Amino acid sequence: MDRRIREFSVIILEDEGGGYVAIVPELPGCHTQGDSLDEVISNVREAIELYLETLSEEEKKELLSRRVVGLQRVKAVA
């Protein structure tokens, strides 16, 4: 598979202990944290690259074909 710059959707949450957590929905289990927004963005870029290095070409092709189409807030009784 060709190596090129790709974009990934990243959800960034405030961590209860301070700092931030970043989750990459297209890549199951790919997440990281950082003390600042700049740090969490840098860390998630590295986490994505390391995650992709562990995949076979077939796995990579399948995961890279996924696309997040939106983020929706849904109300529910909790």
Burial class (CB in 10 A: 0-12, 13-18, 19+), 44: buried
Per-residue pLDDT at 1 exceeds 60: no
* Sheet strands side by side (includes 11-14): 11-14, 20-23, 31-34
60 Rama sector, left if φ>0, alpha if ψ -120 to 50, beta otherwise: alpha
pLDDT in tens, 6-64: 999 999 999 998 999 999 999 999 999 999 999 999 999 999 999 999 999 999 999 99
Entry pTM: 0.86
Say if CB 5 and CB 20 are below 8 A apart. Answer: no
pLDDT of residue 2: 63
pLDDT of residue 3: 74
Closest CA relative to residue 3, chosen from 41, 42, 55: 55
Q: Which domains, ranges and CATH numbers included, belong to the chain?
A: 1-78 (3.30.160.250)
